[in-house]
Structure 1
Amino acid sequence: MSSILLKTAAAVVATYVGFSYTQAQTIEGSWNGKLDAGIAELSIVFNFSKGNDGKTQCTMDSPEQGAKGISVNVEYVSADSLAVAIPSIMARYSGSVTDGRIDGTFAQSGMNFKLVLSPGTVELKRPQTPKPPFPYPIEEVTFTNPEDGTVLSGTLTMPQMVLLGQRVPAVVMVTGSGQQNRDEEIFGHKPFYVIADMFARYGVATLRYDDRGVDRSTGNAAEATTMTNMHDAMAGIDFLHKDGRFGRIGMVGHSEGGTIAFMSASEYPDKLDFIVSMAGAAVRGDSIIVSQNRAALEYAGMPQADINSYCLLLDKVLEYRVEHGSILTDGTSVIDSLAESENVSLPVPALQNLSKVLTSPSPWMDQFLSLDPQKYIPNVKCPVLAINGSLDKQVDAKTNLGAIRRLLPKNEESVIKEYPSMNHLFQHCKSGDVAEYAAIEETMSYEVREEMAFWILRLKYSDGKKY
């Protein structure tokens, strides 16, 4: 789930900054550094060059987030100091040049972070990202959501045996919340690309696609809800059925995509032969958000009493938004009233942050808060593989897998499994915190990917025949 935590991490974008320091004090090239934003340590790169008018120009990259060429305004550059502004994220960096490095401060949202830059750019180590040549066919495709005409652009990756006319199982891959590309790229990792590569080698076809409004897909991402995303995913399922080259057809969803898999199997039982939920939520959206915030605050080292107070008030604020629906121009009075009624005392910045919950319009949030997967899971009749990492801090494994065990109808082919020492991305990890995602070179556990492929291939037709 790109989730609240990941959106927060993106908002506090840490940059590797790039430029070259010469004896003439010209600022050209790239400088990089690491920004510790609390929930994640991110790289930043500033790229400086001279324009045709002789003035210094700059762009910024955030390698772990796959962001390049972000527009930067150069406010001033001198022999010993500089200052730049990044309007798109409402941030600013200023520093002094000393001994071939830049000692400075990255400021955003009222917070200041020390950021030291060194000459050079950044190359992320992502050894699992597939590299050509590939021993299997790949097709670039498009399909349309008939609900609103949105055209989704994707990649169909198939086992070599498809070229010989052999029917194979196929899956549509559904990303988590937030706008993501077909690889579900995050912090330089490409989980869906890695899965698609292994599946094709093992005998399973995959269709992965850019979310609406991302890269080559059309559509208005700002207006999209979980239900909208489900219809997009089902358009992909329809595409695979019409293709004619595939046998059993299923859905593999990660985070919110896992929840969408349950919803789809419940609403369209005749179109899905199986589903895989990778860290899919099985409790209401407001519960997920409170749980995520609690984990983030614990990682940040906030005193437990303050965490309890914040999460208590957050729960009440989310309840208020669900009940009243409309977005306020100023949520201060409501927050103050709720805090007083709950006898909660919090620092002003914390109260201001809660106020944003009531003043930030989001069709996705409005639906997600009251979305209850437990209305759908009991209606799922097809085989289900539901998995979580034991250290998942975004979708708690015990809470959500427990709900799935309790609600999912019995099926001898269904499997519910918790993987030890793995996080929300199914990386082997130490703590499971979002801050680790970028630092871990592994994109996704080999074991998890292989077991998903084997589970799909072992499924039987209703007449007992395997693929």
Structure 2
Amino acid sequence: MRLIACLLALLTAPALAQSDDYEGDWSGVLSAGAPLRLVLEVRGETAVLISVDQSGARLPLEITQRDAEGFAGTIPSVGAALDLNRTGNDELSGTFRQGGATLPLSLYRGNAFEDGGDVAADFIVMSGDVRLAGTLLLPEGDGPFPAILLLNGSGSQDRDANVAGQPGFAVLADSLAERGIATLRMDDRGIGGSDAVAPDSPADLAVDAGAALSALREADGIDNRCAGILGHSEGGMIAFLAADSADPAFIISLAGMHMTMAETLYDQSEAIILVSGGTQAQADQNRALQDAIFAIMRDETIEDHMAAMNAALVELGLPEAVAGQQATIWAQPYARAALDLDTASAMAAYEGPVHAFFAGMDLQVRGVAHADRLIAARGDQPTEVTYLGGLNHLFQRALTGLPQEYASAPHAMAPEALAAIGEAAEALINQACR
């Protein structure tokens, strides 16, 4: 995805009511051997160039000009530069430069490529009294279509699974739609259009997943005999917890958390510290802090877990502000309920086919350990595991796997990951539904 500037004869152009308002989306096609559809996404003081035809690659811009005359910026991640003149209120024309090449490009206000010929619609799910909002994406053509419910990982994420500005699930949904597979992706509780009702335990999220899968099956255009679940990270755990009542046709796990949260956090923290250049002594010191936090989380005799945790962390040397922040996170009922939750029985009980993917440079969910736990729990149940080398926890191409790389990765999800997941989904649909 590269941009260029055609110098237009502005002296002969009609007078324009030029504006420095660039907020929103701008789209156009770059001729670079093959046509590349591009979207310039401007949000506040930040901008990202998206290559629709390169798996939705997202290239953050460092803005160097943004005024009534034009818009310009550099793209350090790919050694490129964008220089566009404001040739109309809703038109930009200029150049994209990269690797010695300069190509002409015109962009027009709006995203002309949004969802291609696919049909995206807002979708509401009622999970008990909790209202959950999301997007149902139907492929182009006549249904009914096989479908997949996408479950976010931990933390507060919107329906696109935005992490560090990278909308992994939006890109994945588009990729699956190209294969004729519908998807439903949801805002987490308290995010976007979903109600701000905090879950007390992973069981609450499993109920949400079951309600969403049931609603998905009943939606127009969906093959109600063929609806599966795909979960990322903690979502991989939730998929199995929901399976008993939801009865998905299949499960796809992406960097799924198949060990306990405590085990996952121990491994994750040590890996990130060591890869960041820290010492084993520092990793051991961090584990001592985790031990203190986990001990308080497990103690049911404590009446005020937040106060107890805050006091313990201050005593261990953390600044009060940091201790308070950590106590706020880990004293929540959800965190305490999830800490030692073992999903082995749920993984064993699900009789449908499973395909689990793990990323070779994932520092948050260490693939081999979680894969071993999944395989051991599944026994003779149909289970396939795939390792994708060179990718991080978000299935982006990575140098170190550290979370700091997520925002600057050129893709929200690497093309090879999208291809592998799509092929697995097709195989599971054929196996479970036909």
- Identify whether the pair has TM-score above 0.5, normalized to the shorter chain: yes
Assess, with a 3 A threshold, how the Cα gap between structure 1 residues 375 and 354 changes in structure 2: closer, same or farther. Answer: farther
Alignment of 1:366 onto 2:339: no
> Which residue of 367, 386, 401 corresponds with 2:356?
386
- Alpha-carbon deviation of 1:465? 6.7
- Alpha-carbon deviation of 1:151? 1.3
Separation in structure 2 between the aligned mates of residue 214 and residue 355 of structure 1, nearest angstrom: 23
- Check whether the contact 1:63–1:187 (CA below 8 A) recurs between aligned residues: no
Partner of 2:286: 310
Separation in structure 2 between the aligned mates of residue 353 and residue 445 of structure 1, nearest angstrom: 35
Partner of 1:154: 134
Give the letter for the 2:132 counterpart.
Answer: L
Assess, with a 3 A threshold, how the Cα gap between structure 1 residues 350 and 298 changes in structure 2: closer, same or farther. Answer: farther
Partner of 1:409: 379
SS at match of 2:162: coil
Partner of 1:429: 398
Deviations 1:371-400 (A, max 9, x none): 222232111211101111011111110110
- Alpha-carbon deviation of 1:216? 1.5
Separation in structure 2 between the aligned mates of residue 185 and residue 126 of structure 1, nearest angstrom: 19
Separation in structure 1 between the aligned mates of residue 192 and residue 285 of structure 2, nearest angstrom: 41
- Check whether the contact 1:318–1:357 (CA below 8 A) recurs between aligned residues: no
Alignment of 1:165-176 (within 5 A): 166-176=143-153
Give the letter for the 1:151 counterpart.
Answer: R
Alignment of 1:243 onto 2:206: no
Assess, with a 3 A threshold, how the Cα gap between structure 1 residues 158 and 460 changes in structure 2: closer, same or farther. Answer: closer
* Alignment length (residue pairs): 339
SS at match of 1:422: coil
Assess, with a 3 A threshold, how the Cα gap between structure 1 residues 211 and 118 changes in structure 2: closer, same or farther. Answer: closer
SS at match of 2:307: coil
Assess, with a 3 A threshold, how the Cα gap between structure 1 residues 376 and 125 changes in structure 2: closer, same or farther. Answer: farther
Separation in structure 1 between the aligned mates of residue 178 and residue 63 of structure 2, nearest angstrom: 41
- Alpha-carbon deviation of 1:451? 2.3
Deviations 1:262-316 (A, max 9, x none): 2112x226x3110111111111111122222222322443332132132134124
Partner of 1:254: 232
Alignment of 1:195 onto 2:172: yes
Partner of 1:112: none
Assess, with a 3 A threshold, how the Cα gap between structure 1 residues 134 and 378 changes in structure 2: closer, same or farther. Answer: same
Separation in structure 2 between the aligned mates of residue 189 and residue 130 of structure 1, nearest angstrom: 20
Partner of 2:261: 285
- Alpha-carbon deviation of 1:441? 1.0
SS at match of 1:410: coil
Separation in structure 2 between the aligned mates of residue 182 and residue 157 of structure 1, nearest angstrom: 12
Separation in structure 2 between the aligned mates of residue 301 and residue 216 of structure 1, nearest angstrom: 40
Separation in structure 1 between the aligned mates of residue 323 and residue 179 of structure 2, nearest angstrom: 47
Separation in structure 1 between the aligned mates of residue 334 and residue 433 of structure 2, nearest angstrom: 41
- Alpha-carbon deviation of 1:433? 0.7
Separation in structure 2 between the aligned mates of residue 220 and residue 130 of structure 1, nearest angstrom: 36
- Check whether the contact 2:348–2:381 (CA below 8 A) recurs between aligned residues: no
- Check whether the contact 1:258–1:278 (CA below 8 A) recurs between aligned residues: yes
- Check whether the contact 1:250–1:272 (CA below 8 A) recurs between aligned residues: yes
Assess, with a 3 A threshold, how the Cα gap between structure 1 residues 303 and 457 changes in structure 2: closer, same or farther. Answer: closer
Give the letter for the 2:181 counterpart.
Answer: V
Separation in structure 1 between the aligned mates of residue 349 and residue 286 of structure 2, nearest angstrom: 36
Any unmatched runs of 5+ in structure 2?
A: 1-19, 23-42, 49-61, 67-72, 79-110
TM-score (norm 2): 0.69
Any unmatched runs of 5+ in structure 1?
A: 1-27, 31-58, 65-116, 340-347
Separation in structure 1 between the aligned mates of residue 47 and residue 234 of structure 2, nearest angstrom: 24
Separation in structure 1 between the aligned mates of residue 46 and residue 200 of structure 2, nearest angstrom: 26
Deviations 1:44-77 (A, max 9, x none): xxxxxxxxxxxxxxx986779xxxxxxxxxxxxx
- Alpha-carbon deviation of 1:170? 0.4
Separation in structure 1 between the aligned mates of residue 387 and residue 363 of structure 2, nearest angstrom: 14
Partner of 1:440: 409
- Alpha-carbon deviation of 1:354? 6.2
SS at match of 1:143: strand
- Check whether the contact 1:125–1:441 (CA below 8 A) recurs between aligned residues: no
Assess, with a 3 A threshold, how the Cα gap between structure 1 residues 197 and 176 changes in structure 2: closer, same or farther. Answer: same
Alignment of 1:201-240 (within 5 A): 201-221=178-198, 223=199, 225-240=201-216
Separation in structure 2 between the aligned mates of residue 126 and residue 237 of structure 1, nearest angstrom: 39
- Check whether the contact 1:381–1:409 (CA below 8 A) recurs between aligned residues: no
Assess, with a 3 A threshold, how the Cα gap between structure 1 residues 205 and 124 changes in structure 2: closer, same or farther. Answer: farther
Partner of 2:89: none
- Check whether the contact 2:275–2:400 (CA below 8 A) recurs between aligned residues: no
SS at match of 2:184: strand
Alignment of 1:139 onto 2:121: yes
Give the letter for the 1:368 counterpart.
Answer: A
- Alpha-carbon deviation of 1:232? 1.6
Separation in structure 1 between the aligned mates of residue 112 and residue 360 of structure 2, nearest angstrom: 27
Give the letter for the 1:302 counterpart.
Answer: G
Separation in structure 1 between the aligned mates of residue 349 and residue 220 of structure 2, nearest angstrom: 27
SS at match of 1:407: helix
- Alpha-carbon deviation of 1:331? 4.0
- Check whether the contact 1:126–1:442 (CA below 8 A) recurs between aligned residues: no
Give the letter for the 2:135 counterpart.
Answer: T
- Alpha-carbon deviation of 1:125? 9.2
- Check whether the contact 1:255–1:281 (CA below 8 A) recurs between aligned residues: yes
- Check whether the contact 1:380–1:409 (CA below 8 A) recurs between aligned residues: no
Give the letter for the 2:389 counterpart.
Answer: P
Separation in structure 1 between the aligned mates of residue 292 and residue 386 of structure 2, nearest angstrom: 33
- Check whether the contact 1:330–1:359 (CA below 8 A) recurs between aligned residues: no
Give the letter for the 2:118 counterpart.
Answer: Y
- Alpha-carbon deviation of 1:246? 2.5
Assess, with a 3 A threshold, how the Cα gap between structure 1 residues 305 and 408 changes in structure 2: closer, same or farther. Answer: same
SS at match of 2:318: helix
